[in-house]
Amino acid sequence: MVESSHKSGLFPSLMDPFRTFGARLSDWFAPASEASADGEAYRIAMELPGVAEKDVSVSVQDGVVTVSGEKASEREEKGETWYFSERSFGSFSRSFRLPPDADADGVDAELKDGLLTIRVPKKAGAAGEAAQKVQIRKG
């Protein structure tokens, strides 16, 4: 895609200091996530390749699960007549509102092989409640 304005994306813009080479710094690392549920719990799976456990934080507040962290990358290559070095750093944050039947006190998280899995149990008895019919009175 080619933009027609002076902010072509090919060079950093003085109008937007957080835009470099067509991508915002906040877009550098936006982890993919997937949410699912079964009869017992809700699950959130988030891909965090190359992110260490010490660099990830999971918190629950006011019915919202927030995953935040930092990812750093460094690459260095040398040849007979050349040298290449590149470093990048970015932070991320994703938030998920919990359904009313979620037990926020029982949230559990595990990071294994670059996949963060968050399990939120459902409150006992909340899922099985049937809808109640309300009688309409004549006015």
Domains of the chain with bracketed CATH: 38-121 (2.60.40.790)
pLDDT at 56: 93
DSSP string computed for the chain: ----SS--SSS--SS-TTEETTEEGGGS----EEEEE-SSEEEEEEE-TT--GGGEEEEEETTEEEEEEEEEEEEEEE-SS-EEEEEEEEEEEEEEEPPTTB-GGG-EEEEETTEEEEEEEBPTTTTTPPPPP-PPPP-
Q: Which residues of the chain have pLDDT under 70?
A: 1-29, 125-130
pLDDT at 86: 86
pLDDT at 5: 42
Global pTM reads 0.64
Over residues 74-110, the pLDDT tens digits come to 889 999 999 988 887 788 999 999 999 999 999 999 9
pLDDT at 31: 87
